[in-house]
Chain A
Amino acid sequence: MNVMRKTLLISAMVAAGTTAQAANVSDDVVKIGVLGDMSGVYADISGQGSVEAVKMAVEDFGGTVLGKKIEVVHADDQNKPDVGSVIARKWVEEENVDVINGAVASSVTGAVTKFMSSKEKITLIAASASHAFTTKACSPFNAHWTYDVVSLANGTVKPMVQSGKKKWFFVTADYAFGHALEKVATGVISNNGGEVVGGVRAPLGTTDFSSYILQAQSSGADVIALANAGTDMVNALKTAAEFGVTDMVDVAGLLVFTPNAQALDPAVAGGMKLTTGFYWDMDDQTREWSKRYMARMDGKIPAMPHAGAYSSTMHYLKAVEAAGTDESKAVMAKMKEMPVEDFFSRNGYLRKDGRMVHDMLQVRIKNADERRDGNDIFAIEQIIPGKDAFLKLEEGGCKFALES
């Protein structure tokens, strides 16, 4: 049996080798897998919206590339690294998926990018926050698109410290993402002459933040930084408002997505400053795209990962066309060569280490009397140029990018 298995294996390998050489596009189809949280806490900021955004990009591109069909498949990773990596494995090994777009929770993204890199396939990271994928866990097959913890900390924390808010207190989500965000933000604070006077770590999914907020209040801090996301951020902020803390000190949300901001009462959240990679109502270009998106999504406004999913898919398809093949290395070379300029990305380019550097927005949540309607949430305060927003290539310590 051993001999038979060996011959089977060899013949399979030979067959795989010849098909890869014969056609420019492997198995005559470019298949994009959208992996995201379709049903859990991050479903609003990725989920079906990301699937629609990727489909929009494919339709806008014309549905074919190099004369071959483009297909989109999607699946729910349930925010679990094991589920995500099993899906990725099945997609690549069984269904000939060429590229994965999405992966939200940083833990899932870590597992998926490791697997994809081992198979020399590209991952377009459109929703994850951790900056690990372009620093210590970087790979020549990662493209980190929308934002990361560094750009959030730089955008939100730096101007506040510089304006004289020196004492900071952290309310941190007690898992990898929260810790990373707190660490990066602490660095920004101390580099700009501020200090961290204290912090608490709340488990993911905490509903009662009162004891944490009271600790923050009694710490004498100028700013309470919320290093959490989604419903955790919403609950912490609500509690702060109920205790009247928001009238006395500033509260800074370090990661606030548009749906979260929209869900908050303007009386609670109005005036809060935050950083985002995209806002639908920025200019004509963003409005044009967002209107088309909303028409497909029952009027829901896009969050930044949705816009990032579209932009990264579009750029990938353009690179496939320019490279004349869907072979990952050639496509990635083209992606890093061509500028990224569309409704989402301004002055954007994909850096050697896989970081897509583009302008970020510092925004303020509008008060009730400023709002035109329910979708009118942010007022743009400042545009942060990409080179200031993201970590520098040299500081990131991504080995392959520094060596080449």
Chain B
Amino acid sequence: MNNKKLNLILLGLALVAPLVLYPVFLMKVLCFALFACAFNLLLGFSGLLSFGHAVFLGSGSYITGYLMLSVEGLTPEVAILAGVAVSAAIGFVYGKLAVKREGIYFAMVTLALAQLAFFFYLQAPFTGGEDGIQGIPRGKLFGVIDLSDNLVMYYFVLAVFIGGFALIYRTIHSPFGQVMKAIRENEPRAISLGYKVNQYKLLCFVISATLAGLAGSTKALVFQLASLTDVHWFMSGEVVLMTLLGGMGTIWGPVLGAGTIVTLQNALAAGPLGNYIHVIMGVVFVICVLAFRNGLVGELQKLVKRNF
């Protein structure tokens, strides 16, 4: 398989997509794809199941939204960087606490910490509680490019996504990524080889949190809204579903998973099946876990391997 050619084709498709499809929908897919990729970096390549990743998404979007709305003349890239920095900081603190435990305890610690943050955001005056931060201006990128046009915004989001995705790709294929995989496969062996396992886990956690924050910050600008939905544990569950459906531990899996889930949500919300949206998502999850545990991309790879 020629990877370079495939990547070029995908890039070409992404560039012309907004001429055919609705740009805001595509931006939503890209934001969630980045979020799922960030999550997958942690779950798929280091085997850590965080059940509180929504906090990083939500923190990014709240901070960016708040700054854009309250600071006069702030450019979006600065607001995004601030959101990302806050997410990274929270990621560091949470990661430091969580990596001391493994397996289900790790998941529970992240969930508990995420709930703490959720209630903080619910009560904090700057988030607007249940209403969220509404009417966030998109502003002018570098003070020059007006992002209020959907098409311009789309190419900006695409650039952000490619940047984030490239970073993840680089991380996975670096010596650091190899160590991560080693820890995932056999932690005692990694320890016996002299690796400081917890430090590797923490760094991976922080990178993942940072990129999740980037996704959140971008999302706040796209929808001009930061709300509790972004920090709710439903969101943490949704990203697990996206990653599992697409294929945990594969590069393109989370992108495909996020695309599938967002498309499903979009299609169902408008149709006659709107009332059953949660039921259908549940069924999708059950089928995915029972029938193809490697996810869409994972099964596809297996098929390719077997037949070609």
Listed in ascending order, the chain A residues whose CB lies under 8 Å from chain B are 5, 9, 38-39, 73, 75-76, 78, 80-83, 85-87, 89-90, 93-94, 105-107, 110-111, 114-115, 118, 175-177, 179
Q: Which residues of A contact B22 (CB under 8 A)?
A: 90, 93-94
B223 at the interface (CB under 8 A from A): yes
B135 at the interface (CB under 8 A from A): yes
A93, A106, A111, most chain B CB atoms within 10 A: A111
B272 to chain A, nearest CB (A): 10
Q: Which of A5, A81, A93, A105 contacts B225 (CB 8 A)?
A: A81
9 interchain pairs, CB-CB under 8 A: A75-B270, A81-B229, A82-B223, A83-B229, A85-B225, A87-B269, A87-B270, A90-B24, A110-B131
B130 at the interface (CB under 8 A from A): yes
Chain A residue nearest in CB terms to B61: A82
A230 to chain B, nearest CB (A): 14
Q: Which of A5, A80, A81, A87 contacts B151 (CB 8 A)?
A: A5
Q: Which residues of A contact B227 (CB under 8 A)?
A: 80-82, 107, 111
Known: A75-B269, A94-B22. A9 touches B130 (CB 8 A): no
Contact indicator B277/A76 (Cβ below 8 Å)? yes
Query: Which DSSP category, helix, strand, loop or mixed, fits chain A's interface?
Result: helix
Chain B residue nearest in CB terms to A113: B134
Q: Which residues of B contact A38 (CB under 8 A)?
A: 274-275
Query: Which DSSP category, helix, strand, loop or mixed, fits chain B's interface?
Result: helix
Q: Which residues of B contact A78 (CB under 8 A)?
A: 269, 277
Q: Which of B217-264 contact A (CB under 8 A)?
A: 223-225, 227, 229-230
Q: What is the bound-complex CA distance between A381 and B205, given in angstroms? A: 62
Q: Which of B103-153 contact A (CB under 8 A)?
A: 122, 128-132, 134-135, 149-151
Task: Given A76-B269, A175-B122, A176-B129, output 20 extra A-B contacts at Cβ < 8 Å.
Answer: A9-B151, A38-B275, A81-B131, A81-B227, A82-B132, A82-B227, A85-B223, A85-B224, A86-B24, A87-B269, A90-B24, A90-B25, A93-B24, A94-B22, A106-B130, A110-B131, A111-B131, A111-B134, A175-B129, A179-B129
B61 to chain A, nearest CB (A): 10
Q: Which of B130, B150, B224, B276 contacts A177 (CB 8 A)?
A: B130
Q: What is the bound-complex CA distance between A176 and B230, given in angstroms? A: 17
Q: What is the bound-complex CA distance between A78 and B228, given in angstroms? A: 13
Q: What is the bound-complex CA distance between A177 and B130, given in angstroms? A: 8
Q: What is the bound-complex CA distance between A39 and B276, given in angstroms? A: 8
Q: What is the bound-complex CA distance between A211 and B127, given in angstroms? A: 29
Which range holds the interface residue count of chain B? 20 to 34
Chain A residue nearest in CB terms to B23: A93
B128 to chain A, nearest CB (A): 8
Q: Which residues of A contact B229 (CB under 8 A)?
A: 80-83
Q: Which of B122, B131, B224 contacts A106 (CB 8 A)?
A: B131
Q: Which residues of B contact A176 (CB under 8 A)?
A: 128-131
A228 to chain B, nearest CB (A): 13
By Cβ-Cβ distance, the 3 closest A-B pairs, closest first, are A176-B130, A175-B130, A114-B135
B28 at the interface (CB under 8 A from A): yes
Q: What is the bound-complex CA distance between A111 and B220, given in angstroms? A: 13
Q: What is the bound-complex CA distance between A110 and B227, given in angstroms? A: 12
Known: A5-B151, A39-B275, A89-B24. A82 touches B225 (CB 8 A): yes
Chain A residue nearest in CB terms to B148: A118
B216 to chain A, nearest CB (A): 12
B237 to chain A, nearest CB (A): 15
Q: Which residues of A contact B135 (CB under 8 A)?
A: 114-115, 118
Contact indicator B277/A39 (Cβ below 8 Å)? yes
Q: What is the bound-complex CA distance between A322 and B224, given in angstroms? A: 35
B233 to chain A, nearest CB (A): 14
Q: What is the bound-complex CA distance between A9 and B18, given in angstroms? A: 13
Q: Which residues of A contact B276 (CB under 8 A)?
A: 39
Q: Which of A76, A80, A85, A111 contacts B275 (CB 8 A)?
A: A76
Contact indicator B275/A107 (Cβ below 8 Å)? no
Q: What is the bound-complex CA distance between A75 and B270, given in angstroms? A: 5
Q: What is the bound-complex CA distance between A73 and B270, given in angstroms? A: 9
Contact indicator B132/A111 (Cβ below 8 Å)? yes
Q: Which residues of B contact A81 (CB under 8 A)?
A: 131-132, 134, 225, 227, 229
Known: A38-B275, A78-B277. A110 touches B134 (CB 8 A): yes
Q: Which residues of B contact A83 (CB under 8 A)?
A: 229, 269
B295 to chain A, nearest CB (A): 25
Contact indicator B151/A39 (Cβ below 8 Å)? no
B111 to chain A, nearest CB (A): 18
Residues 264-297 of B, flagged 1 when their CB comes within 8 A of A and 0 if not, give: 0000011000111110000000000000000000
A194 to chain B, nearest CB (A): 27
Q: Which residues of A contact B224 (CB under 8 A)?
A: 85, 115
Q: Which of B9-51 contact A (CB under 8 A)?
A: 22, 24-25, 28
Q: What is the bound-complex CA distance between A75 and B274, given in angstroms? A: 8
A232 to chain B, nearest CB (A): 14
Contact indicator A86/B131 (Cβ below 8 Å)? no
B182 to chain A, nearest CB (A): 39
Q: What is the bound-complex CA distance between A4 and B264, given in angstroms? A: 33
